[in-house]
Structure 1
């Protein structure tokens, strides 16, 4: 027997853990990695705070307005950065989704619980577009995590003489962990949009 708030707490834990790993990635010597990790850490911790079950803590209206302000600024930054990096478009979409969810919760009557503000009204067009985008992003990110063999004799396509040589990669610079974090945040965003 589980409490109704249990999935919400799992979502909080997932997003907080992802945000914490993104903070580790901010120590990377690669500038682009640090910049991307900072945006993803903000998204992870923001999603964790937004996912706290309303039965436990019902945020006041000003908290939702603060989300709109913070993620509105992140969306503007993402829009500016998207000129030079295609990955920044995803950060822009994430920030827009956060602004949208916070705006919906700001406008929701106080007697509606988190996740039930739009019950019975159908799926608004913007929610549908965001759901489609994040579903596609999750599928793409998941596919990028699948192992690919490109020939050769060793694991992952390495030549037999190469697999004995080990290279040390810092935790913050591991591409598969970064991709797994992006995948988990995409899944979390889908879960949050579905309950909107």
Structure 2
């Protein structure tokens, strides 16, 4: 994940901006959207922290273990929430991928990409590649939401097309991080 600065900083910026927008989405009046936005904010900020180029900071092994524990906990929460909706399965895969990458970095920081592609990494790459294509296609036909009878316009936290863009950008970032693993 700690790749060159030329690709690392744009990835950090994208993930941090996505996390910040997800924090705004937590102000939604829809409880389910607030809950999903919280998990997505955690993913965005966690991905930003994990993507910082090694020229700036090389976290010690304990930090990677902490990341693995935090995202392992997020994966368990998503597993529990998956009982009520399929979207939580994507959160489960995302949090599991983050825990996997953090555990790989804790096991041997800075020594990745020298032994072929592990099957789990390949499976995650395939999943996120398909998710990027699927969510990109879903984003294209999103129609503007009309407000009827003077109803208030949707706030920034309630815009479904922006939530989809956030999920798409995080999936693209996840692909980049998995490739760097």
- When normalised by structure 2's length, the TM-score is 0.92
Quote how far apart the aligned CAs of 1:55 are.
Answer: 1.5
Quote how far apart the aligned CAs of 1:8 are.
Answer: 0.1
Q: Determine if the alignment matches structure 1 residue 132 to structure 2 residue 132.
A: no
CA distance 1:157–1:52, change in 2 (3 Å): closer
SS in 2 for 1:93: helix
Aligned to 2:41: 41
Quote how far apart the aligned CAs of 1:31 are.
Answer: 0.2
Aligned to 1:69: 69
Task: Tell me how far apart the structure 2 counterparts of residues 6 and 57 of structure 1 sit (CA, whole Å).
Answer: 15
SS in 1 for 2:56: coil
| CA-based RMSD | 2.1
CA distance 1:167–1:9, change in 2 (3 Å): same
Task: Tell me how far apart the structure 1 counterparts of residues 86 and 141 of structure 2 sit (CA, whole Å).
Answer: 24
Quote how far apart the aligned CAs of 1:7 are.
Answer: 1.1
Aligned residues: 178
Aligned to 1:175: 160
SS in 2 for 1:84: coil
Structure label with greater radius of gyration: 1
More helix by share: 2
Task: Tell me how far apart the structure 1 counterparts of residues 66 and 124 of structure 2 sit (CA, whole Å).
Answer: 21
1:185 aligned residue (170, 174, 180): 170
- When normalised by structure 1's length, the TM-score is 0.85
* Unaligned stretches of 5+ residues in structure 2: none
1:123 aligned residue (100, 117, 121): 117
Q: Does 1 or 2 have the higher relative contact order (CA < 8 Å, sep 6+)?
A: 2
Q: What pairs with 1:75-114 in structure 2 (closer than 5 Å)?
A: 75-108=75-108, 112=110
* Unaligned stretches of 5+ residues in structure 1: 149-155
